[in-house]
Amino acid sequence: MSQAIPSRLAALRQTMRQHGVTACLIPSADPHLSEYLPEHWQARAWLSGFTGSAGALVVTQNHAGLWTDSRYFAQAEKQLAGSGIALMKQRVGQASEHLEWLQQHVGEGEVLAAAGDSLALTTQRQIEHRFTKTGARLRTDLDLPGAIWTDRPPLPAAPIVEHAPHYASVSRADKFARLRSAMRKLGASHHLVSSLDDIAWLTNLRSSDVECNPVFLSHLLVAVDGRATLFVGRGKLNDALVAALAADGILLADYATVTDALGELGANDSLLLDASRVVSAIAAAIPAAVRCIDAPNPSTLHKARKGEAELDHIRDVMRRDGAALVRAFRRLEERLIVGMKQTELDVDTLLREERSAQPDFVGESFATIAGYQANGALPHYRATPESHSTLKPQGLLLVDSGGQYLGGTTDITRVLALGETTPEQRRDATLVMKGLIALSRARFPKGASGPQLDALARAPLWASGMDYGHGTGHGVGFFLNVHEGPQSIRPPVPGGALVALEPGMITSIEPGLYKPGRHGIRHENLAVVVEADLTEFGEFYAFETLTLCPFDRRALEPGLLNPEERAWLDDYHATVRAALSPLLEDADLMWLERHCAPL
């Protein structure tokens, strides 16, 4: 815990008193409601010391609480220790969520402050609805953390580049034509897009304003009549790119002027926006006379359904990424055999070295998770120079990593047996593998959603009285965000939308099991939804596994796999061997052959 945290909280409370504020809400968000934030908008981390990607901080004069989910409980407990901030566990028993807590603790005539540039319009509406019952008031015009954050980092200013047409496959003109067709069906004269991955996909542009995500800070206002304005830092694009955008009907305006443009809309205009992906401060600029159409961004679904050209690029990337992983894992194994000291940090370095040698590699798709033994039980663990473990020739190493390539985005988790393992470890790893196999083999009818399939991956663990606290699968972008909607595979949420899985959608399949202080297991492949059968009961879909890298069978107990599961694993390894063998030679090829041998 940083020694500065208590003083920062004290300064915030003083500012709250000056403005007559009872409580301050600091979510994990920016004006684009991104999952991963530029440093400029990491106010929650700056005020609390908690660096996880998900969480909300609430501060009153006599209480400070950090709400986060089970992926981050251990990390939050460690980072919040001594800060005066209590860990408020989300989705555990009867524990209240932060909005419910605020409703209970901000009374009649009292004020809750939340910066409007970091508060989703949907969240604003939820708070105001709750406060109508209590007489409390929400203010979004106060950025109290910003008022005391004197050394706040500046906005990122990375250059923007064109995603090469060879990889982008579909032109900007075609993407905007499809978007405008959807706008017409919804009766929208204009469409506001603030989500960075949607904008990058629509414009076929990429940058690096957000760590590991090739996106750039911007807003996009699209008119159905053929005009569009991209609100972005002008110095981020060269003249040739500005001209190319203009030729496609996309003009540039300063990033900060999006509210001015919205204010110019009139009573005859109808604006399509997704209230869950637009912040309060932006929405406040829309004149009351404008008819707002609250619906998901059409581009979110469009980009989730990958075309055949994109899938061909992704399949090629998977081969090269798999070959890089084989080389890295073989090098790690040999270093341990000869007694060379290796740490979790060295695993990260090995992976980066091998991926960097691949054509069209851009960078990691997220910070590598290399957790040895007990550290593997922390789902979002990250080794640091100050805190990491040294590997030993025994036990399990969980490695979750991914790459950004011009031709696609990868995300893979493997559990390596570094030496002798315990019966408990092998049993746990096998139960998780049974879940991965069950979901990978699934056939499901058209219209089925991820929440309907989630139990397939959990059933082997449930049968033994165990479970895991995260979702089973998330969408993955095409040289874009490693976490992409709208599809997901997770337990049903009351009132949550059931998004159908459609052909072309890529999802991770990653069941896990975590035993704090002992070990963690997660097996992960990426898969794409494909057409499977047409029967008298309708269309049925299946998953095509995309990821190509052996599982470490030494971490498994083969006797716990039934014949169908053994056959699936053997077939998968035969596919991996055939795909990767042409890219490997000598010791790397021998390593592949050994790890892809039938059970």
167-179: pLDDT as tens digits: 999 999 999 999 9
**Confidence at 159, pLDDT banded by 50, 70, 90:** very high
Q: Specify the CATH number for the domain of residue 371.
A: 3.90.230.10
Statement to judge: residues 11 and 119 lie in one domain: yes
Statement to judge: residues 355 and 504 lie in one domain: yes
Query: Which of 69, 67, 74 lies closest to 515 in space, CA to CA?
Result: 74
CB neighbours (10 Å) of residue 291? 15
The sign of the torsion formed by the CA atoms of 162, 40, 474, 362 equals positive
**Confidence at 564, pLDDT banded by 50, 70, 90:** very high
What pLDDT, on a 0 to 100 scale, did the predictor assign at position 496?
A: 78
350 versus 495: the higher-pLDDT residue is 350
Q: Specify the CATH number for the domain of residue 213.
A: 3.40.350.10
Angle of helix 423-440 relative to helix 563-580, nearest 10 degrees?
Answer: 80
Domain boundary among 148, 171, 197: 148
- The answer to whether residue 230 scores a pLDDT higher than 50 is yes
Strands 64-68 and 86-89: parallel
Strands 219-223 and 190-193: antiparallel
What pLDDT, on a 0 to 100 scale, did the predictor assign at position 137?
A: 97
Q: How far apart are the first and last CA of the chain?
A: 47
Question: What is the rounded average pLDDT of the residues 407-425?
Answer: 98
Domain count, the chain: 3
Residue 65 lies in a domain: yes
- The answer to whether residue 150 scores a pLDDT higher than 80 is yes
**Confidence at 413, pLDDT banded by 50, 70, 90:** very high
Statement to judge: residues 281 and 322 lie in one domain: no
Residue 133 lies in a domain: yes
- The answer to whether residue 93 scores a pLDDT higher than 70 is no
Helix (H) or strand (E) holding 580: helix 563-580
Percent of the chain with pLDDT over 70: 99
Statement to judge: residues 460 and 560 lie in one domain: yes
What pLDDT, on a 0 to 100 scale, did the predictor assign at position 394?
A: 95
Alpha helices by DSSP H, 284-337? 298-304, 308-337
Statement to judge: residues 282 and 339 lie in one domain: no
- The answer to whether residue 20 scores a pLDDT higher than 50 is yes
Residue 303 lies in a domain: no
Statement to judge: residues 293 and 312 lie in one domain: no
Residue 221 lies in a domain: yes
Q: Which domain holds residue 288?
A: 161-297
Residue 153 lies in a domain: no
- The answer to whether residue 96 scores a pLDDT higher than 80 is no
Cα–Cα separations (whole angstroms), residue 342 to 17, 189, 328:
51, 59, 13
What pLDDT, on a 0 to 100 scale, did the predictor assign at position 72?
A: 86
CB of 249 closer than 8 Å to CB of 222: no
Helix (H) or strand (E) holding 577: helix 563-580
What pLDDT, on a 0 to 100 scale, did the predictor assign at position 2?
A: 64
Domain boundary among 249, 277, 297: 297
Residue 114 lies in a domain: yes
Statement to judge: residues 282 and 314 lie in one domain: no
45-79: pLDDT as tens digits: 999 999 988 899 999 999 999 999 888 888 899 89
What pLDDT, on a 0 to 100 scale, did the predictor assign at position 94?
A: 65
Question: What is the rounded average pLDDT of the residues 443-472?
Answer: 97
Query: Which of 233, 277, 227 lies closest to 254 in space, CA to CA?
Result: 233
Statement to judge: residues 186 and 263 lie in one domain: yes
- The answer to whether residue 1 scores a pLDDT higher than 60 is no
503 burial type by CB count under 10 A (0-12 exposed, 13-18 middle, 19+ buried): middle
Statement to judge: residues 249 and 338 lie in one domain: no
Question: What is the rounded average pLDDT of the residues 443-462?
Answer: 98
Question: What is the rounded average pLDDT of the residues 285-307?
Answer: 97
What are the structure tokens assigned to 424, written together? 């408990």
Statement to judge: residues 131 and 176 lie in one domain: no
Statement to judge: residues 341 and 258 lie in one domain: no
Domain boundary among 297, 330, 346: 297
What are the structure tokens assigned to 595, written together? 């790890």
Residue 109 lies in a domain: yes
In the predicted model, what is the mean pLDDT of the chain? 96
Residue 155 lies in a domain: no
Alpha helices by DSSP H, 275-422? 280-283, 298-304, 308-337, 344-356
**Confidence at 135, pLDDT banded by 50, 70, 90:** very high
Statement to judge: residues 192 and 293 lie in one domain: yes
